[in-house]
Structure 1
Amino acid sequence: MTLHIGDIAPDFEAETTEGRIRFHDWIGDSWAVMFSHPKDFTPICTTELGYMARIKPDFDSRNVKIIGLSVDPLDKHAAWSADIEETQGYAPNYPMIADVDFNVSQLYGMLGADVSGDPADRTAADNQTVRNVFVIGPDKKVKLILVYPMTTGRNFDEVLRVIDSLQLTAKHKVSTPVNWQPGEDVVIAGSVSDDQAREIWPDGWESPKPYIRIVQQPS
């Protein structure tokens, strides 16, 4: 299965470190970030899980729930959590899915449909495509898909920046330009005609070219 931005995120039931969940019910009216890991006790993922635990309040303040996934059973997740706290200073404070039947990895296109068997028989290299970040909105639609290689740690500050953009542009008829940070100027969305824009921005906008209409970020 290949997922695209705008698709409904596949629903599923799974065991997690915080009990069994049904994914769409767990999201509820919130936003969600699901980030996946090819194997427990992998070094780069260890740093990522600890960092996400440290900045979880930043996601909470944006009404965003965090959930991790690894293709290993719950008992290994518990032991890994202790290692993460010891080495990174923070233990995961969000649920971790135990995707031992590869169901979620396959639903989200991270592993092929032909993958089966005991996850203990697979290495991190076998599961290296399970290094994704999915941002899902309250409407249960996929808003962002990032895929990282095994050798590169993920930038979760960038994920927060994208969420700020997604939440802003979901409420207002604007888009955010390159390297945008909250509070900086934005661009009127291309779907808005000049006549419509004049009703929303009666004071006008800066326009170095007719197709670039710059305004202050709406509050």
Structure 2
Amino acid sequence: MGTRIRKAIGYALTDLEENDPRINWASPLLDFELFDGTSPDGEPMTFDGLADYIARNNPGSPIPGLLRVEAKIRPYTPLNDCVIHDTEGGDPAVLVVVPPSYLGSWTHSDDDIDYIEAHFGEGPDTDPVVTPVPGGFYPFNGVFMDRQTGLDLIAGRTMGFRHGIRDGVSPEELDGLARNIRLDGDPVDTPGPFTNAAEAVDRITPRLPEEVKHLASFGALFTDPLGWSGLRPVHYKWWS
């Protein structure tokens, strides 16, 4: 089989080191030879298995229904296809997690147009490229979380702070906008998570799809239960 160009959008760590302690390297999600394995709790590592896990832990969530549809579309696709860490043709410092229900639309390979574009120069452009997408991806863009705690932030107040940065308001006004941010669901009179603008800039990050968090937990992908909070939206191109 020849080398193929591959592209994906998803949520990534881009600074991995060899045997990085943030990653559980024994996770079945990183066993790329696995086609019929089980989770650390003995559950099938399949789309249906993940759907059952989410349904038990989050009754009423719509995600299991989406995953069961995906399972019917791709019955022989292993769940670890949702985690990309290619140390041969890809960048070993990059690990990308794709929401399972978006696997079909957020990844592709061996695309004729991509292949032609990669050969416009004197030789094929086969270097892996990761491009940050700070705004995130539809339908998950425009919402944010606190990367330190993984908790969701009220979108309107967070956007107000970001607009303050864009518009160049005074440092005092920007600090006030940062203090005005609240966690999603908190009463208005509850103190917010940030005391100043620098703290907010450091900790505000695009919110992750819930199924990415569930996938990471189901497959024990990280050594820290909040390890997923370090993931950032990216576009990734590599050859494999």
The structure showing larger relative contact order (alpha-carbon pairs under 8 Å, at least 6 residues apart) is 2
Q: TM-score, normalised by structure 1?
A: 0.28
Q: TM-score, normalised by structure 2?
A: 0.26
More helix by share: 2
